[in-house]
Chain A
Amino acid sequence: MSDSSSGKAQSAFQSLSSIITSIPPSQSPAFSLLHDLRIASQISTLLRQPDSGAGDNNLCRWLYDSFQSTDPDLQLVVLRFLPIIAGVYLSRVTLRKPLAGFEAVLLALYAHETTSRAGQSITINIPDLSHPSVYHESKTLTKTNATDLNLAVISPSLEPHGTVRSTRRARIVGVALELYYSKISQMPIGSKVDFCEFCEGWAGLDKDSEGCKGLTKEKLNNEGAISLPWELLQPVLRILGHCLLGPTKNKELYKAASAACRSLHARALHDINPNAILATGSLVRLGKMALDSDKETDYTEIPKTNVISL
């Protein structure tokens, strides 16, 4: 970590102490801001307060400034709280509450992504196995180089936005989530669990559609339901895929992620959205398979025996 970087982290750490009540002393401020559970829980509580997203909110200002500091470590800290910011924000937009503070942070993330991509769309080529690749050979003669390029747009091109127009809201939050996903391997578990819990709320269905009976209508109709266009749902599903099937195994995260996947699958059925039904259905089934995978044979093990074989 460079001097200026740790200096920025130090001053951010200091200014945070005027916002949250108790801040433990730390040798490495950037690390504490990202990983210290006491700091995280205080910030989380503040972000969930009924009046948290207003334009004059101290914490939102702090998050905005921290992100604009361009210090990568501080930017990670801001992303760590994106699940709560996006979650609270999207659940509140219909309540006509002042949300300029949240919007400033989200727009900063959106602008960062727009700049780093130069506004370009992200596309991939769907491979065609009749052409050889680094991983396989193909006997058929290659025709011309550019035959049948099967291009898929993962994320369309980005326009700069100075304000959150309501028809662009889902896209702006979606792009912020794309940024979160690109750093997700550095995010603490708690942040991911927050995200999964909000997903469940966004789906807007009863807590567990598997075998819940006798719930009253009021309870069934969770207030968190939001519209989930593909531009928002797609990055959500990528993040959930990581939470459910990523390399770090964590029971709490697995539980939260599988609950979120089940809820979103039920929601996809409610919307009769084929793409979402396929993607969430696969996640739900893969989640179940991951549970059984512990019983699989470990091929890297040698047979256990007491007999010497030469």
Chain B
Amino acid sequence: MIIYGNIQEARALLGRLEYQRGNVEGALRVFDGIDLQAAIQRLQPALSDKPSRKGRIRSDSQNTVSQHAASLVLEAIYLKAKSLQNLGRLTEAANECRSVLDAVETIFQQGIPDVQVDSRLQETVSQAVELLPELWKQAGCNQEAISAYRRALLSQWNLDNDCCARIQKAFAVFLLHSGVEAGPPSLGSQIDGSFVPKNNLEEAILLLMILMRKYFLGKINWDPSVMEHLTFALSLCSKTSIVAKQLEEMMPGVYLRSDHWNALALCYSGVGENSTALNLLRKSLHKHEQPDDLMALLLAAKICSEDSHLAAEGVGYANSAISNAKGKNEHLKGVGLRMLGLCLGKQAKISSSDYERSRLQSEALKSLEAAFSYERNNLEIIFDLGVQYAEQRNLNAALRHAKQFIDATGGSLLKGWRLLALVLSAQQRFSEAEVVTDAALDETTKWEQGSMLRLKAKLKLAQSLPIDAIETYRYLLALVQAQKKSFSPDISVSQVDDDKVDEFEVWHGLANLYSKLLHWKDVELCLGKAKELKQYSAEMLHTEGVVCQGRGNMHEALSGYINALLLDPSYVPSKILIAAVLSKVASKALPVARGLLSDALRIEPTNTMAWFHLGVIHRDDGRLADAADCFQAAAMLEESDPIESFSSLL
């Protein structure tokens, strides 16, 4: 039998009763009448006695009484805080709530022990720990909220798993979305060698990962929002590979199997691992899974549209996407058509017959035009159409779309400028193309100018201005030097790689330029520099061959070209030059040479040099009509040859 000798404890009980009835104001009046601080002080010596082993047995019964009394008093303060919260007096509520925690900390200086604690006392403590940051948050005191969260998570409150998980999640959400920078936790809480998050995003991701781990270990229940917050945070950092890792650890049954695969596919595709993504999508699009899922179909089609050997498969996905874009998803029909157009265009590149190729090309155009009629503000379609027309050498249409794309993007995308310059160069309007490259250079910062400057050098050469071309390269080399100085080799550079001037390309481009001017010594010098950066590349071996050929060394030239082909079996320039050399060296080799050229034309049907050399072989073999056809094709193509292949745009 416990006797409440103290009137204050009786009041605490009464207040609790009022609160439970929902009479918040009444409860507050009762609580206000208690001198809680005095009550706490009275409790202190009873509980803060160092648990000496001898005295424990004797003090046990007294301890229970004190703990009960303590729990009553602390609960009263806690309920006072709750009452104030209910009345909207949030700052006062937070201060009361904090005094609960302060009191607990003075009473239990060593932290709350796991055992021997009254369950009701523990409950009040846990509730106060959880309530305090919420109160500060509601009061709009963000910094106090952050400290309260850290106090909750970094001190020993003996919280149960669920309560701790709720606080961790709430803090992670606050860190992610409050827009208030928390700064790193104080030094006091740092343990040697342990990871200390240095900003909000790091801390939030750490907490969410810990929550995921707790779930994997079966300590807490599944909360779908944790994974969503983590996905959001990690995709902001472009680290979707880590989302994938979390998804892979997930037990089966949490997500629908096909949704799980689709999410993984998005993650892998997000970090450029498209073949893994495609394999996952093939599973989820299997006829027994969800073959009609639009997102999966579109992503699969997009991945396939980037590889001519997958393009035919992509056509299937795109067609399926188009027929499934119904109802509320009808707005995606244009996207499906665009993907269909891209896949068909890619498929056309490896088609085995002229007939097939032109059929695919015209279907590709039809799909893209249809896509454009659905989405007139999808700028990418304008660009796709421009490239498609250019590849089919419909240069006027290509020019129209290139201009339209630059207008619609306000010239913000470099690829638009490149397309326009290449189309103009194909129309042999070199000086206008140069005006375009100059305009583009005005709109870019120096580190992005590499590809544009190389284009400009080629344009200069095309206008028989080799000195100017070399001057342009000299500027490029100066840029490379400046770049080396301003970017120290830190890790972040690899992430902005595409913005930078590629030194290998510069040396190799200059080598090509000199080889056109027949300055073989200079070519070798440049190739040597390029080789330091990239030891093996088909382009470079090919250029080495060109040097040997230029010096009359046919055998070495041939081995250079063959080596290039060994590195890249579909490298067209080497195929053409091997054929050219062979046809000169031995008449017996003419059929082989012809085979190589047909192969080259299969890969690049509009290659002028290939048609020309094929013509030569026909002529030497005495098939004059065939030769004439080839020469005519070469002549026609030359009139519409861009200075760099249009496929370099994709």
Interface hits, A205-241 → B, CB 8 Å = 205-206, 209-213, 217, 220-223, 225, 227, 230, 234, 237-238, 241
The answer, yes or no, to whether B482 is at the interface (CB within 8 Å) is: no
Q: Considering the chains assembled together, what is the distance between the CA atoms of A227 and B378 in angstroms?
A: 9
Given contact pairs A169-B412, A246-B177, A306 touches B21 in the complex (Cβ within 8 A): yes
The answer to whether A300 touches B228 (Cβ under 8 A) is: no
Chain A residues near B163: list those with CB within 8 A.
Answer: 299
Stretch of B35-43, B236-244, B604-612 at the chain-chain interface: B236-244
Residues of A183-203 contacting chain B, CB below 8 A:
183-185
Q: Which of B2, B166, B232, B411 contacts A286 (CB 8 A)?
A: B232
Is the pair B443, A269 in contact by a Cβ cutoff of 8 Å? no
Question: Which residues on the B side are within 8 Å of A210 (C-beta)?
Answer: 328
B80 at the interface (CB under 8 A from A): no
Do A185 and B180 have beta carbons less than 8 Å apart?
yes
B376/A217 in contact, CB under 8 A: yes
Looking at A165, A223, A278, the one whose CB has the most chain B CB atoms below 10 A away is A278
Find the B residue at minimum CB distance from A184. B179
Chain B residues lying within 8 Å of A124, measured Cβ to Cβ, are 198-199, 201-202, 205, 237
Write out, one digit per residue, whether chain B residues 134-173 have a CB within 8 A of any chain A CB (1) or not (0).
Answer: 1001001010010000000110000000010010100001
Q: Which residues of B contact A127 (CB under 8 A)?
A: 195, 197, 202, 205-206, 209
| Interface: B396 (CB within 8 A) | no
Decide if B496 touches A154 in the complex (CB within 8 Å).
no
**Given the complex of chains A and B, what is the CA–CA distance between A248 and B239 in angstroms?**
29
Residues of chain B lying within 8 A (CB to CB) of residue A286: 225, 228-229, 232
> How far is B142's CA from A185's CA once the two chains are assembled, in angstroms?
9
Judged by a CB distance under 8 angstroms, whether B13 is at the interface is yes
Is A156 a contact partner of B495 (Cβ separation < 8 A)?
Answer: yes
Q: Is A139 an interface residue (CB 8 A)?
A: no
Q: A227 vs B495: C-alpha distance in the bound complex, in angstroms?
A: 21
| 1/0 contact string of B221-258 vs chain A (CB within 8 Å) | 00011001101101111111011000000000000000
Instruction: Using known A-B contacts A182-B181, A299-B166, determine if residue A129 contacts B210 with beta carbons closer than 8 Å.
Output: yes
Cα-based distance from A150 to B263 in the complex (angstroms)? 22
Return B42 CB to nearest CB of chain A, in Å: 20
Contact A278 B331 (CB under 8 A): no
Contact A167 B232, beta carbon cutoff 8 Å: no
B116 in the interface (beta carbon within 8 A): no
| Of the residues B191, B198, B298, B447, contact of A269 by C-beta under 8 Å | B298
User: How far is the CB of B186 from the nearest CB of chain A, in Å?
Assistant: 10
Residue in A134, A136, A153 whose CB lies within 8 Å of B196: A134
What chain A residues lie within 8 Å of B444 (beta carbons)?
A: 165, 167-168
For window 239-282 of B, CB contacts with A under 8 Å fall at 239-240, 242-243, 263, 266-267, 269-270, 277
Interface residues on B, range: 35 or more
Are B492 and A133 in contact, CB atoms less than 8 angstroms apart? no
Interface string of A118-152 (1 = CB under 8 A from B): 00010111111101111110000010010000111
Contact indicator B20/A94 (Cβ below 8 Å): no
| Contacts between chains A and B (CB distance < 8 A), count | 254
- Could you tell me if B234 and A131 are in contact, using CB atoms closer than 8 angstroms? no
Q: Is B7 in contact with chain A by the CB < 8 A criterion?
A: no
The interface size bin for chain A is 35 or more
Residue in A150, A205, A211, A283 whose CB lies within 8 Å of B328? A211
Q: Across the interface, do B194 and A134 meet the contact criterion of CB distance under 8 Å?
A: yes
- B232 proximity list for chain A (CB < 8 A): 237, 241, 278-279, 282-283, 286
Q: Within the assembled complex, what's the spacing in Å between the Cα atoms of A101 and B294?
A: 44
Query: What mask results when residues 280 to 303 of chain A are scored 1 for a CB within 8 Å of chain B, else 0?
Result: 011101100100000000011111
A300 touches B130 (CB 8 A): yes
Flag whether A274 is at the interface (Cβ < 8 A). yes
Please, which residue of chain B has its CB at the minimum distance from the CB of A235?
A: B236
The proximity string for B residues 475-501 relative to A, scoring 1 for CB distances below 8 Å and 0 otherwise, is 000000000000000011001100000
Task: Kindly list chain A residues whose C-beta atoms are within 8 Å of the C-beta of B470.
Answer: none
Q: Does B408 contact A (CB under 8 A)?
A: yes
Q: CB within 8 A of A166: which of B231, B294, B410? A: B410
Find chain B residues with CB under 8 A from A132 CB.
191, 193-195
Do B179 and A274 touch (CB < 8 A)? Answer: no
State the CA gap A133–B153 with chains docked (Å). 12
Q: Is the CB of A282 within 8 A of B229?
A: yes
A281 vs B267: C-alpha distance in the bound complex, in angstroms? Answer: 13
Q: Tell me the nearest residue of chain A to B410, going by C-beta.
A: A93
| B-side interface mostly | helix
Instruction: Evaluate contact between A278 and B266: CB separation under 8 angstroms.
Output: yes
**Contact flag A247-B174 (CB < 8 Å), given A152-B237, A227-B379, A227-B409:** yes
The B338-378 residues at the A interface (CB cut-off 8 A) are: 339, 375-378
Q: B267 CB to closest chain A CB, in angstroms?
A: 7
CB-based contact A167/B445 at 8 Å: yes
Q: Is B394 an interface residue (CB 8 A)?
A: no
A289 with B228: CB separation less than 8 A: yes
Question: Cβ of B225: which chain A residues have Cβ within 8 Å of it?
Answer: 286, 289
Q: Are the CB atoms of A151 and B492 closer together than 8 Å?
A: yes
B630 at the interface (CB under 8 A from A): no
Question: Counting CB contacts under 8 A, is B185 at the interface?
Answer: yes
Residue B506 at the chain A interface, CB threshold 8 Å = no
Min CB–CB distance B483 → chain A (angstroms): 12
CB within 8 A of B295: which of A145, A153, A277, A306? A277
In the complex, B176 has a CB within 8 A of chain A? yes
Q: Is the CB of B238 within 8 A of A152?
A: yes
| Closest B residue, CB atoms, query A137 | B194
B302 at the interface (CB under 8 A from A): yes
Q: Which residue of A lies closest to B138 (CB)?
A: A247
Assembled-state Cα–Cα distance A157/B266 (Å): 27
Contact assessment for B179 and A285 in the assembled complex, using a CB-CB cutoff below 8 Å: no
Minimal Cβ-Cβ distance residue in B for A123: B492
Q: Which residues of chain A are within 8 angstroms of B414 by Cβ–Cβ distance? A: 167
Q: Distance (Å) between the CB of A45 and the closest chain B CB?
A: 25
Q: Would A310 and B13 count as touching, CB distance under 8 A?
A: yes
Question: Within 8 Å of chain B (Cβ to Cβ): is A304?
Answer: yes
Residue B285 at the A interface, CB < 8 A? no
B185 nearest CB across to chain A (Å): 6
- A278 contacts B270, CB within 8 Å? yes
List residues of chain B with CB within 8 A of the CB of A220: 331
Chain A positions within 8 Å of B491 at CB level: 151
Residue B335 is within 8 A (CB to CB) of chain A in the complex: yes
Instruction: Determine which of B134, B185, B277, B379 lies in contact with A134 in the assembled complex, contact meaning CB atoms within 8 Å.
Output: B185
Q: A183 CA to B180 CA in the complex, in Å?
A: 8
Chain A residues near B178 (CB-CB < 8 A): 185, 242, 246-247
The one of B130, B239, B376 in contact with A152, judged by C-beta atoms closer than 8 angstroms, is B239
Inter-subunit contact A274/B266 (CB<8 Å): yes
A166 contacts B196, CB within 8 Å?
no
The answer to whether B176 touches A302, judged by C-beta atoms less than 8 angstroms apart, is no
The distance in angstroms between the C-alpha atoms of A166 and B298, with both chains bound, is: 30
A151 to B242: give the CA distance in the assembly, Å.
Answer: 12
What residues of A have a CB within 8 angstroms of the CB of B447 in the complex? Answer: 159
Structural contact, A274 and B267, CB atoms closer than 8 A:
yes
Query: Please, which residue of chain A has its CB at the minimum distance from the CB of B225?
Result: A289
> Which among B134, B202, B263 has the highest number of chain A CB atoms within 10 Å?
B202
The answer on a CB contact under 8 Å between B228 and A133 is: no
Given the known A-B contacts A272-B335, A275-B238, A300-B82, are A142 and B492 also in contact in the complex, defined by CB atoms under 8 Å? no
Could you tell me the distance in whole angstroms from the C-beta of B216 to the nearest C-beta in chain A? 10
A94-B408, A153-B496, A269-B298 known, 8 other contacts, Cβ within 8 Å:
A135-B210, A157-B492, A166-B412, A167-B445, A245-B177, A247-B137, A282-B229, A304-B21
Interface residues of B (CB under 8 A from A): 2, 13, 16-17, 19-22, 79, 82, 127, 130-131, 134, 137, 140, 142, 145, 153-154, 163, 166, 168, 173-174, 176-181, 185, 189-191, 193-199, 201-202, 205-207, 209-210, 213, 224-225, 228-229, 231-232, 234-240, 242-243, 263, 266-267, 269-270, 277, 294-295, 298-299, 302, 328, 330-332, 334-335, 339, 375-380, 407-414, 442-445, 447-448, 491-492, 495-496
3 interchain residue pairs of minimum CB distance? A152-B237, A184-B179, A225-B377
| Residue contacts A-B, CB under 8 angstroms, 10 given | A94-B409, A135-B207, A210-B328, A211-B328, A225-B377, A245-B177, A270-B378, A275-B235, A275-B270, A283-B232
